Chain A
Amino acid sequence: MKHTVVALVEDRPGVLNRVASLFRRRGFNIDSLAVGTTEEQGISRMTIVVDGGAGIVEQVEKQLYKLIDVVKVSDLTKEEAVIRELVLVKVRCNREQRRDVLDLVDIFRAQAVDVSPSSMIIQSVADEDRNDALIENLRPFGIRELTRTGRVAMVRGAKTTAVNESESAELQRFHHDSGRRPEGDLPFVSD
């Protein structure tokens, strides 16, 4: 099963290396990894899609917490979340085909962001499944170039995964069963 793990990390040199090195060393499979700044200065947000069972993801979470630069880890798979990925596709497209491509763009609620006499760049922001479907439908025209950002995600509703936000009841139960101590802001602690 694919899990969406969000890690809030100190924005310091080498932190991406530490996280990537951990995944490599422990043999965790990364499907995608997206990194960017957050609402809080000095904190970066990594959204990591991990393929594996519950035991693997528990280890991923705990091992991430052992990194000193990792401040908070959340598994958004356990919550209702908005999940998005941006895709840019450069597709072969002459004047005659343009209408057909734009029809597809409409159906998938994507956008045409660049046009030339022989090509078009389509941008789509959606979850991976819809993007996969869009790409499959564009394939017959001839895909010249393709890039995907990897997944980013955010919990629905007023709750957040910010550093100081307390966790949902379900996550609390999970961490309780894993033996966490009751006090402290963080579900696990670096040791």
Chain B
Amino acid sequence: MKMSGADIVLESLKRLGVDVVFGYPGGVVLPLYDRLPAHPEVRHILVRHEQGGGHMAEGYAKASGRLGVALATSGPGATNLVTAIQDAMMDSLPTLFVTGNVARNLLGKDGFQEADITGITMPAVKHNYLVMRVEDIAYTFAEGAYIATTGRPGPVHIDIPKDVFIEETEFVWPEKVSIRGYKPATTGHPGQVKKAAEIIDAAERPIIIGGHGVILGNAHDELRRFAEKTGTPVLNTLLGLGSIPRDHVLSYGMLGMHGSYEANHAASNADVIIGIGNRMDDRALGRFADFNPTAKLIHIDIDPAEHNKNVPAHVPIVGDVKLVLPQLIEAVSQNSHVDWLHWIDDLRQAHGHSMAVPSGPELSVQHIVRRISEMSPDATIVTGVGQHQMWAAQHMKFTRPHQLITSGGLGTMGFEVPAALGAQVARPGETVWAICGDGGFQMTLQELATMVDARTPVKMAIMNNGYLGMVRQWQELFYQDNYVSVAMTQPDFLKLADAYGIHAIRVTEKEQVDDAIREAEGHAGPVIVDFQVQAEGNVWPMVPAGAALKETVEAPRDASEVRS
């Protein structure tokens, strides 16, 4: 039976198991929208801005572990997706971005709403396609989804000219996909595994850096077993949080620019570092040249290009962490490092004040995120970017993979509201908290309307301090208090919520926090909580940009040193 290109797109999505698409219509994708009602298995959520749709697909992919799909029209619709595409690229999220383009005879003629979108997205995707024949659509979707979800996952973009949606052909779904230039890695090289095991067995002060790859590779159980067998403390990158339960005795939280003092010093003093599914990012490692140059580095990653990119690995192992970790667990001896753990514990005792929740009467973000985490330990947490993100990473106890959804690599402000919506769609009936900055919230708040339409009861906690807090912190610390363009007059978020028909709560006192959290979670629909927090708090500890991890700066100890 012959089908139109539009029907083939939707049929292909169904074959891929896609049941929700975040999209925005427009001229060239009208043939596709025309056929949506004929495919009720694919739920379409009408977003308010394509960037929001892109972040929703990311949030959905993170929360479900499945392919997230966003759809946009040509030209401005497509270019609006670019931020989300690059975000998905940096954080390796399995996502599919589908755009329409002008009809084939108009391509390259600068017609209305034409953009060379495959040219624009090329450096921001794992792979992209311009589909010029209706016969190629089904295979392209099968291949594109395969590429997006296998190996190191990432965004795939498929651009389809309008007339290709209209042409008809037989629908042929490929039995299998085979790409000669793409064979995702599986097990690790036995020789390398053996070499790594020997180093691990001889280690006196080993640490593990558990990255996002552990979560993407669904290898959190293997990570825990490996850590337990070798008695190795586990540090996490921001995106690796949740790869080991934070309450596990070997979990030592986040390292990096705002990692804990003890984590950064453990990394700096270790004799063996085992990086697992992490990309040795500058925010996690500090100045590369001085990131513990004497330690032996074992680096396990599915992407060989991550080895030796930023820091040289003594034993690089290319492979899927889900398969390499069992090889390693088999190869290493049972071990424990009690003295080493005590050394780190002692550091935490002596230097824990940087991450203490302010004990005074002021309403602090640290207190709020800690209470949300304590009162709602299973909630999925989505954050924006900035101080609130770092405080959430420091103070919330993530106990399962995919519990924290945050824009790590690209650091996209405005990620939180749409990504939380996507996460809620993936996890209906569960609690999703969006921890929002007051700046980032206003970058994508148009999606509040989508939230009402889609009936996604996200709980949004706005950390309202009237500042772009992280920028202000840098201006305070590194630009001699020269505050430029960081103070913001915020709208009345309660009235704003009211305009969208969203329930809202204002919190100005510390004592009101618990009640507000309870009230928000008890409400059936989306809720905005306007937490009017202290204006000038700093995230501590901090490794200044370009400094080494061992140069971690602690919070001023003496109360009189604290800025008024």
Which residues of A are at the interface with B, using a C-beta cutoff of 8 A?
A: 9-10, 13-14, 17-18, 21-22, 25, 55, 58-59, 62-63, 65-72, 163, 176, 178-186, 188-191
Contacts and interface: CB of A to CB of B under 8 A. Distances in A.
A58 B318 contact: no
A99 B210 CA distance: 73
A191 B183 CA distance: 8
Contacts of B545: none
Interface string B292-308: 00000001001111011
Contacts of B305: 59, 62-63, 65-66, 188, 191
Contacts of B180: 10, 71, 163
A18 B121 CA distance: 11
Contact of A17 (B119, B317, B319): B119
B189 interface: yes
A65 B304 contact: yes
Interface string B361-384: 000000000000000000000000
B16 to A, nearest CB: 18
B179 A178 contact: no
B487 interface: no
A181 B182 contact: no
A189 B185 contact: yes
Given A59-B309, A163-B180, A190-B181, A180 B119 contact: no
Interface stretch (B55-63, B122-130, B343-351, B446-454): B122-130
B147 interface: yes
Interface string B93-124: 00000000000000000000000001100110
27 contacts: A9-B181, A10-B180, A17-B122, A25-B123, A62-B304, A62-B305, A66-B303, A67-B181, A68-B181, A71-B181, A72-B181, A179-B316, A179-B317, A179-B318, A180-B304, A180-B318, A181-B186, A181-B187, A185-B183, A188-B304, A189-B183, A189-B185, A189-B304, A191-B151, A191-B184, A191-B303, A191-B305
Point out which of B152, B186, B304 has the most chain A C-beta atoms below 10 A from its C-beta.
Answer: B304
B304 A179 contact: yes
B118 to A, nearest CB: 7
A181 B123 contact: no
A13 B191 CA distance: 40
A191 B304 contact: yes
A44 to B, nearest CB: 12
Nearest to B126: A68
Nearest to B302: A191
Nearest to A58: B308
A51 B299 CA distance: 27
Nearest to A10: B181
B188 interface: yes
A181 B188 contact: yes
B182 A68 contact: yes
Nearest to A73: B181
A109 B122 CA distance: 44
The size class of the interface chain B forms with chain A is 35 or more
Given A178-B318, A179-B318, 19 more contacts: A9-B181, A14-B118, A14-B119, A14-B122, A25-B123, A55-B308, A65-B305, A69-B181, A178-B304, A178-B307, A178-B308, A178-B316, A182-B189, A183-B186, A188-B305, A189-B182, A189-B184, A191-B151, A191-B302
A180 B302 CA distance: 10
Interface string B170-200: 0000000001111111111111100000000
A166 to B, nearest CB: 15
A187 B123 CA distance: 23
Contact of B182 (A163, A183, A185, A190): A190
Nearest to B180: A71
A189 B318 contact: yes
A59 B151 CA distance: 18
A12 B179 CA distance: 13
A54 to B, nearest CB: 10
A191 B216 CA distance: 13
Nearest to A164: B180
Nearest to A55: B308
| Complex A-B, nearest 10 residue pairs according to Cβ-Cβ distance, in ascending order | A179-B316, A62-B305, A191-B151, A191-B152, A71-B181, A191-B303, A190-B182, A68-B127, A179-B318, A188-B304
B173 to A, nearest CB: 20
B117 to A, nearest CB: 12
Contacts of B309: 59
A59 B186 contact: no
A63 B307 CA distance: 11
Nearest to B143: A68
Given A13-B130, A21-B123, A179 B190 contact: no
Contacts of A190: 151, 181-184
B315 interface: yes
Contacts of B123: 21-22, 25
A66 B152 CA distance: 10
B192 A70 contact: no
Nearest to B191: A176
A181 B151 CA distance: 14
Nearest to B156: A68
Nearest to A22: B123
A69 B307 CA distance: 22
Given A178-B307, A179-B318, A189 B122 contact: no
Point out which of B186, B303, B313 has the most chain A C-beta atoms below 10 A from its C-beta.
Answer: B303
A180 B151 contact: no
Contact of B189 (A17, A66, A72, A181): A181
A184 to B, nearest CB: 6
A182 B190 CA distance: 8
Contacts of B179: 68
A79 B558 CA distance: 64
Interface in B306-340: 307-309, 313, 315-319
B191 A18 contact: no
Given A10-B181, A181-B319, A191-B302, A59 B189 contact: no
